[in-house]
Amino acid sequence: MVDSWERDLKLSKTACYPTGWLTCSAVALAVCDLPAARHLASLAGTGSHFYCSACNCYHKTTYGRVDFEHWELRDKDRLREFAEQWRDAAMTSKRGRLFKDHGVHYSELWRLPYWDPSRQLVIDPMHCILEGLVQHHTHNLLSLTTKEHRFVSPDVLIRVQDVIQEMTVSTWFGSVPSNFGSTSAGTIKADEWRSLITVYIPIALISLWGADTSHPSDEVGTLLRTILDHTMELVCAVYLVCARTATTDRAHAYRSHIARYVANLTKIHPTFALRPNHHATFHIYDYLLLFGPAHSWWCFHFERLIGILQRLPVNHKSGESLWSVS
């Protein structure tokens, strides 16, 4: 990649140029889940105090910060300097101290003169939001897929299942197991989480907790309406980030919904422990502005390809998948 960027590469033959063609290429972005991204860039893991690859927010106690207007992107030149210091350190103990102080190892990506992890190490909405925030909100906060119903009764899950079974949707809309919430439904996939949080769950909750609904007491009604409003902040954010078109106004609206969602998490659920995802999701705003609609850069396409490769009939002979594809 360094040669291709600095000196061009000569392809001996292509479909359009049988006599060869000079090419120049670069890494535009790297998109993967948070743990894989840290391994790729040799940055400290999400469980460390250097939990963000994009900005200078530090220490796990600051997961819940919503003052995004004060966040500063990590300086790529300083990161490169720290990475090279780690590479050149003669003692393992010195490397350990450098990593503890700065949260970065040396990666081959630093050989690329343009590499900037704060802008090019993209946070994937599929993993961060759909399989992260949405799954966690449904499982741990609404408790729809667990036997513990802290804030809701089992009737809510039944209502969600009824909506799934009774609602007529377009053929292109992603299907969801009608027995959602039971063990027999299997593992819910990212696209199914998207369908659940943008259509089925909000319709079910509004029909139970929305205006003109009855509850055992005013206190219960107020609490459930607060949980509904909080859930709708996440619904709106998911709808905006999954849209096939993106504008600056939509990106700003997305970030506003996420800010209100994260800010109210510990107010509505005092015992809830925030996660790195709750911070990382703010930075998806930056990538919407940089790269446009998430459909063009999220991980759905690559995850489908992985599934196709895993289902190839290779007769248990490793290394022959390439021939099967061709």
Computed over every residue of the chain, the mean pLDDT equals 90
How large a percentage of the chain has pLDDT more than 70?
94
Which residue is it, tokens 């103990």?
Answer: 93
Give pLDDT, residue 321: 53
Q: What is the pLDDT of residues 292-323, one digit of tens each?
A: 999 999 998 888 787 787 777 777 666 655 54
- A 10 A CB-CB count for 304 gives 11
Please give the single-letter amino acid code of residue 28: A
pLDDT beyond 50 at 263: yes
pTM of the model: 0.88
Q: What is the pLDDT of residues 64-110, one digit of tens each?
A: 999 999 999 999 999 999 999 999 999 999 999 999 999 999 999 99
pLDDT beyond 80 at 145: no
Listed in sequence order, the residues at least 6 apart from 190 whose beta carbon sits closer than 8 Å to its beta carbon are 126, 127, 130, 131, 300, 303
Q: What is the pLDDT of residues 193-252, one digit of tens each?
A: 999 999 999 999 999 999 888 888 999 899 999 999 999 999 999 999 999 999 999 999
What percent helix, strand, coil does the chain show, rounded to 5?
55, 5, 40
